Amino acid sequence: MSITTAVHLNFRRQAQEALTFYRSVFGGELTLATYTQAQMPVADDEGDLIAWGEVRSSDGFHVMAYDVPAARAHDAGIDPVFVSVRGNDEKETRRYWAGLADGGTIKADLGPSGWAPLYGMVTDRFGITWILDVTAPWAG
């Protein structure tokens, strides 16, 4: 199995601007998906905000980001980053999930999503929020 980790930054209506800036600094490929494209429910005026975005360069830079929906609390002291673990093996992903969830708090149950065969979010016992998913090609 192969996995990657990436810093996942949380913004309020600034994710696209921030990712565009990071691309200008580090180079690489910019990928963006809005809430509408990802078929995720948000307020009417938030459909064009970024539900998932990343900048990835050939020399190893990788950062992910999204716009926190208005319905969710966002403060520099609350979930300032996520650690994203992406793999291609469902069994291993479930094993990582079980370990991180032990003594932790599940924020999104591990299961299929509109963008991945398997996705979940958990805050571990130390207060670190992890996103685990099984990768799938983005067709949006």
Q: Which CATH number do you get for residue 103?
A: 3.10.180.10
Q: What is the pLDDT of residue 85?
A: 85
Residue 72 lies in a domain: yes
Q: pLDDT value at position 13? A: 92
With respect to residue 108, please indicate whether it lies within any of the assigned structural domains.
Answer: yes
- The answer to whether 42 and 35 have CB atoms below 8 angstroms apart is yes
Report how far residue 10's alpha carbon sits from residue 129's, in angstroms, rounded to the nearest whole number.
Answer: 12
Can you give the residue range of the structural domain that contains 110?
3-134
- Examine residue 35 and state whether it is found in any structural domain, yes or no: yes
The region of weakest confidence among 30-39, 63-72, 81-90, 103-112 is 81-90
Q: Is 9 a domain residue?
A: yes
* Residue recorded with tokens 């921030």: 18
> How confident is the model at residue 138, as a pLDDT?
66
How high does pLDDT run on average in the chain?
A: 90
Q: Is the residue at 76 inside a domain?
A: yes
Closest alpha carbon to 83 in 53, 128, 118:
128
Question: Does 98 fall in a domain?
Answer: yes
Number of folded domains that form the chain: 1
**Is a pLDDT exceeding 90 seen at residue 17?**
yes
Asked if the structure places residue 139 within a domain, the reply is no
Please report the pLDDT score of residue 101 as a whole number: 94
33 located within any domain: yes
Helices and strands, counts by H and E, the chain? 2, 8
